[in-house]
Structure 1
Amino acid sequence: MIYLVLSITCSVIVGVLLKLAKRYQINVMQAVTWNYLFAIGLSAFFFKPDFSTLNFTVALSPIYLVIGILLPAIFLIQGYAVQQTGLARTDIAQRLSLFISLCAAYFLFNESFDRLKYVGLIFGFIAIVFTIYRKFGSPSSKHTWLYLLLVFVGFGAIDVFFKFVSQITVIPYTTSLFLIFCIAFILSLGYILYLAITKRTKIQLINFVCGCVLGFFNFGNILFYLKAHRAMSDQPSTVFAAMNIGVIIAGSLIGIVLFKERLSKLNYTGLILALVAIVLITLSKLHAVR
């Protein structure tokens, strides 16, 4: 479970940094691009990727290409969703992508669910809705639902594909991670250069610095997430559920203490239900081990 705790911590810090980006007028797309460059450096320095078993066919594996495309694309779509529908509704769409992850655990990875896990997941689903519930103002335009749908599907797909990456044994998973970062960086760099040429968007040093900080925690988030899947390879739903629910709890506490956000009674009820869900899911895992 230590890998999950570390992954949740890094994920929450990434969310805090993205929230602060608007306040300090940071170009999120540029920061995201340099975050992948920094992640590439961290991967090369700490893990020294093994390219001896790497060949052209493996490097162009559909799984690597899909994740390499999805990572920067979902960052960008998430930015559009925040602008068009607000932070609250975008967060709901992102966290409810847990449904996709759990469906994959059951139908693709053939994981068996016991009663404790079923009850825990039910509490978890209710907790997610209660915890992130907000009253919305004016109705959104008729096309904004598409951004939320793409966020929902995108984050769920990323979770599932990372589970597939953790099962690849032909090359070390750290090498796989390095390749994914490279693909994501090349695509992101191409996009910001396109914007610089066509839209005359300035590439600023401050965005590079913020991108390096973002890359450090983003690297940690993905790395520990993969390690959690490896450590609990027979219980992918435990990783899926605990990660999403844990981020909601930690993010809510950070919002209350650091950003002075106000939570309703329904939100606090959701936090309690989330704690119950995590206990039930954890007990389910311990029961399975016995």
Structure 2
Amino acid sequence: MIYLALSILFSSGLFIIFKLFGVYKIDALKAIVVNYLVALTFGFLNANRTFSVAEIIDQNWFFGAVILGAMFVSVFFVMAKTSQVNGVSVASVAGKMSVVIPVFFGVFLYNETVTMLKISGIVIALIAVYLASVKNDNVFKGKSNLLFPALLFIGSGFIDTFLKYIETNYVLKEDVSIFSGTLFGIAAIFGIIILALKSIKKAEAFGVKNIIAGIVLGIPNYYSIIFLIKALQVEGFESSTLFTLNNVGIVIFSTIIGVILFKEKLTSKNILGIILAILGIVMVTFAS
């Protein structure tokens, strides 16, 4: 449970950093590329054994890391596009509701337990995620422009599901840091390629503040993934339960941070969402 709590803590910390990006006019793409390089460095420095680049390429999980690295960058762009076209609330709801995908596959791929208490807790948790995340009454109204929210929903769910699959079948416990470092390194490569293509159209300085922002982002981002993987490796802790608790925990903690640090106002729906989230967490935990 400590690994899950730490994953929630570091993931919620990313909320503060992304919020400050807007305040200090940070170029998100540049900062995220630096963030991946920092996370890559931390992953390799914290490795439990010596290794070579050639050895990494020969690992059974390498191809999966390439897919996940590409998905990391792709989902980021879809998230940004969803925020621009549909609004931040829609992006938030679509991303967080995607937890239903790894929960579904956890039950069917790994024969995880299914009880009425657990199903009820997960459903309540999903409703809570929606209510706690929504900031207005216009979320998902109308049928236009639903492409990007749909892609974000599928992409976010795919990352969690595939991460669980790779971790379960190919990643040894002593190789978690090497795997995560490789994952971030591949994401950095894709990000650098995108930056290079953008610079062809319009060259501009990288900016010291973007580098600093990337470093600040990279450390908690690395540990959020590390602790999530470690939590997934704990025996007896089902992924359907873990992803539900992790996602709902991030929503609750991020909401509290928003209220305390950024003076964000909670609507009646947000408050109801937090109450239901706590109820959902209790039900899912007892069911497991």
Q: TM-score, normalised by structure 1?
A: 0.91
1:215 corresponds in structure 2 to 218
Which stretches of structure 1, 4 residues or longer, exceed 4 Å deviation after superposition? Answer: 136-143
Aligned to 2:27: 27
User: Residues 44 and 178 of structure 1 are in contact (CA less than 8 Å); yes or no, is this contact kept in structure 2?
Assistant: yes
The offset of 1:102, in angstroms, is 0.8
Distance in 1 (alpha carbons) for counterparts of 2:249 and 2:56: 38
**Superposition deviation, residue 158 in structure 1:** 0.7
Contact 1:31 1:208 (8 Å CA) reproduced: yes
Displacement of 1:32 after TM fit? 0.4
Rounded Cα–Cα distance in structure 1 between residues aligned with 2:134 and 2:105: 26
In structure 1, distance between residues paired with 2:186 and 2:23: 30
**Aligned-residue offset at 1:232:** 4.2
Which whole-Å CA distance do the structure 2 matches of 1:99 and 1:137 have between them? Answer: 22
Q: What SS is found at the alignment partner of 2:135?
A: coil
Q: Deviations over 1:226-250 (max 9, x none)?
A: 0110014651111110011001101
1:25/1:150 Cα in 2 relative to 1: closer, same or farther (>3 Å)? same
Alpha-carbon contact 1:165-1:173 (below 8 Å) kept: no
Displacement after TM superposition at 1:49 (Å): 5.4
| Residues 71 and 155, structure 2, Cα contact 8 Å, conserved in 1 | yes
1:169 CA drift (Å): 4.2
Q: Distance in 1 between matches of 2:56 and 2:224?
A: 27
Choose from 173, 188, 193 the match for 1:190.
193
> Structure 2 counterpart of 1:133, which letter?
V
Query: 1:47 is paired with a residue of what secondary structure?
Result: coil
Counterpart for residue 9 of structure 1: 9
User: 2:262 maps to which residue?
Assistant: 259
Corresponding position of 2:126: 125
1:277 lines up with 2:280 in the alignment? yes
Counterpart CA distance in 2 for 1:180 and 1:233 is 26
* Cross-structure match for 1:161: 162
* Contact 2:171–2:179 (CA under 8 A) maintained in structure 1: no
Cα deviation 1:53-93 (Å, max 9, x = unaligned): 93644377431111010111211221121122111110000
Amino acid at match of 1:262: K
Q: Do the aligned residues in 1 keep the contact of 2:176 with 2:226 (CA within 8 Å)?
A: no
Partners of 1:16 and 1:144 in 2: how far apart?
A: 28
C-alpha distance 254-138 of structure 1, shift in aligned 2 (>3 A): closer
CA 1:277–1:141: 2 relative to 1, 3 Å: closer
Cα distance in 1 for partners of 2:171, 2:265 equals: 49
What secondary structure is seen at the aligned counterpart in 1 of 2:205?
Answer: coil
The alignment of Structure 1 onto Structure 2 pairs a total of residues equal to 285
- Equivalent residue number for residue 288 of structure 1: none
Instruction: Return the alpha-carbon distance in structure 2 between the equivalents of residues 222 and 202 of structure 1.
Output: 30
Q: CA RMSD in A?
A: 2.2
Tell me the secondary structure at the aligned position of residue 54 of structure 1.
helix
Q: Which runs of 5+ in 2 are unaligned?
A: none
Mapped to 2, the partners of 1:105 and 1:168 lie a distance apart of: 14
Distance 1:179 1:257, change over 3 A: same
Please state how far the C-alpha of 1:136 moved relative to its aligned partner.
4.3
Higher mean C-alpha deviation, range 262-271 or range 140-149: 140-149
Query: What is the TM-score of this pair, normalised by structure 2?
Result: 0.91
Q: 1:188 to 1:141 in 2, by over 3 A?
A: farther
Whole-angstrom distance in 2 between the partners of 1:63 and 1:265: 42
**Taking every aligned residue pair, what percent have the same amino acid on both sides?**
29
User: Which one-letter code corresponds to 1:212 in the other structure?
Assistant: I
Q: Aligned runs of 1:66-145 on 2, under 5 Å?
A: 66-136=67-137, 144-145=145-146
What is the deviation of 1:115?
A: 2.6
Q: Is the 8 A contact 2:69 2:186 kept in 1?
A: yes
Q: Is the 8 A contact 1:26 1:207 kept in 2?
A: yes
The partner residue of 1:178 within 181, 189, 193 is 181
| Mapped contact 1:59–1:179 kept (Cα < 8 A) | no
Residue 36 of structure 2 is matched in structure 1 by: 36
How far does residue 51 in structure 1 lie from its aligned partner after superposition? 2.8
**Structure 1 residue ranges without an equivalent (≥5):** 286-290
User: Matched residues in 2 for 1:262 and 1:228: separation?
Assistant: 33
Query: Superposed, which structure 2 residues align to 1:219-234 within 5 Å?
Result: 219-232=222-235, 234=237
Does the CA-based 8 Å contact 1:123-1:273 persist in structure 2?
Answer: yes
Letter of the 2:181 counterpart: F
* CA spacing shift, 1:54–1:88, aligned 2, 3 Å: same
